[in-house]
Amino acid sequence: MGSIVLNNLGKVYGEDTVAVHNVNLEIKDGEFVVFVGPSGCGKSTILRMIAGLEHISFGEVIINDEVMNNVPARDRDIAMVFQNYALYPQMTARQNIGFALEMRKLPREEIEKRVLETASTLNISELLDRKPKELSGGQRQRVAMGRAIIRNAEAYLLDEPLSNLDAKLRSQLREELSKLHARLGVTMIHVTHDQIEAMTLGQRVAVFSVGHLFQYDTPETLYKSPNSIFVAGFIGSPTMNFFEAVSTRKASELSISVGKRKIGIQNYQERFNINQDGKLLVGIRPEHINWGNHSLELEDGFLANVEFIENLEPESYVTAIFDDKEIKTLSSDDLEKFSKGTSETFSGTKDPVITFRVSSENLPQKNSSILISLPPEKLYLFNANTGQSYGKEIKW
């Protein structure tokens, strides 16, 4: 088992296509870390550089205090589970799982014993004599896991191992994976583009975009104090709502104008490092929004029209359009721009739109007029140019 340190790690393709920018990151021995980010963010490339399958352009991969840059993959003692499982098609599950040990010239009985152990850990004992094409997707995934965990590797790298499975199986295996890690206590790096997977599995989660490491922290911290508008938008479902706003400092109160209305944040210095007035971006998670019927007067409420209701149990997602058309809300395209670091301008959505999460037992009527309130203590503030959070870093 081992610790892994990435020191200024980078990958350049061809002359000047930078796929990974100076990534610094440390994984402790026995830790379960998830690399998450949209496709093309460089997370798999980093994983492959750790495994030794990809040449390192600059920086270092250090495993157990040893620089691994020039150590070939086969000598790094890393086990990996591939997205498409990469099972040897002509071999049975038994042979697939035992292959690595066979290559290490272990005695036959020893291999057989460990294959059986591994298989029972993964509940695939009865599948051992089948070939990959005779196995279902989930079964293949388990065999692929088995092939990795049968080894006493320094670290186990899982490259989107659940992405080819259906939703139900995925959540089931997610749980099993968690338990497996708890039982084995080994170092694991799990790559996924699915933030739910990241949040449920990772002890720590590294959020990547376009080759940059945005934030590396516990799932709770990522959720509660994202360091940037990209992380804030990426983590959480449905996505956080963002508005354009103008702030004015008044002693201990920060007054924020969203459209025609103002929201006041008391004792803002406790939560925010903000020392200028002007344009900024405000974010609020769908689960933190309150709403009421039009008749029900809410303090600082925004009038809005219910546009669309996504009926789920026990909670539903409601999308509404503000009556105040001066409000400018950010579109997914705008967030995309922030994923590359900064954004000069943003186009906004066609209509000012907001999504919030409510109990399915108490839903607004479609096309009805409602009042929405944004609780000041739940607001996130971001720099409108850099996307950096103004929030003070709070460890959770």
Which residues sit at the interface with other proteins, rule CB under 8 A? 51, 53, 72-75, 78-80, 82-84, 86, 88-91, 99-100, 103-104, 147, 166-167, 194-196, 234-239, 312, 317, 332
Checking 127-136 for CB contacts under 8 A at 24+ apart, the result is 127/93, 128/92, 128/93, 128/94, 128/97, 129/92, 129/93, 129/94, 130/92, 130/93, 131/89, 131/90, 131/91, 131/92, 131/93, 132/85, 132/87, 132/88, 132/89, 132/91, 132/93, 132/96, 133/89, 135/93
Q: How far is the CB of 386 from other proteins (least distance, A)?
A: 22
What is the CB neighbour count within 10 angstroms for residue 103? 9
Q: How far is the CB of 138 from other proteins (least distance, A)?
A: 16
Residue number, 164 or 369, with CB nearest to other proteins: 164
Q: How far is 90 from 79, CA to CA, in rounded Å? A: 21
Q: How far is 104 from 375, CA to CA, in rounded Å? A: 61
Q: How far is 78 from 156, CA to CA, in rounded Å? A: 6
Residue number, 129 or 277, with CB nearest to other proteins: 129
Residue number, 38 or 292, with CB nearest to other proteins: 38
Q: How far is 26 from 389, CA to CA, in rounded Å? A: 23
Q: How far is 64 from 2, CA to CA, in rounded Å? A: 5
Q: What radius of gyration do the chain's Cα atoms show? A: 24
What is the CB neighbour count within 10 angstroms for residue 175? 12
Question: How far is Cα of residue 49 from the mean position of the Cα atoms in its chain?
Answer: 20
Residue number, 225 or 241, with CB nearest to other proteins: 241
Residue number, 125 or 171, with CB nearest to other proteins: 171
Point out which residues pair with 319 in neighbouring strands.
Answer: 308, 355
Tokens of residue 3, six digits? 């610790």
Q: Which residues contact residue 178 at a Cβ distance below 8 angstroms, ignoring those fewer than 6 apart?
A: 32, 200, 201
Residue number, 85 or 272, with CB nearest to other proteins: 85
Residue number, 58 or 317, with CB nearest to other proteins: 317
Q: How far is the CB of 266 from other proteins (least distance, A)?
A: 32
Per-residue DSSP letters for 198-247? HHHH-SEEEEEETTEEEEEE-HHHHHHS-SBHHHHHHSSSSPPEEEEEEE
Q: How far is the CB of 312 from other proteins (least distance, A)?
A: 8
Q: How far is the CB of 196 from other proteins (least distance, A)?
A: 4
Residue number, 296 or 363, with CB nearest to other proteins: 363
CB 155 within 8 A of CB 2: yes
Q: How far is the CB of 167 from other proteins (least distance, A)?
A: 6
Residue number, 76 or 271, with CB nearest to other proteins: 76
Q: How far is the CB of 392 from other proteins (least distance, A)?
A: 26
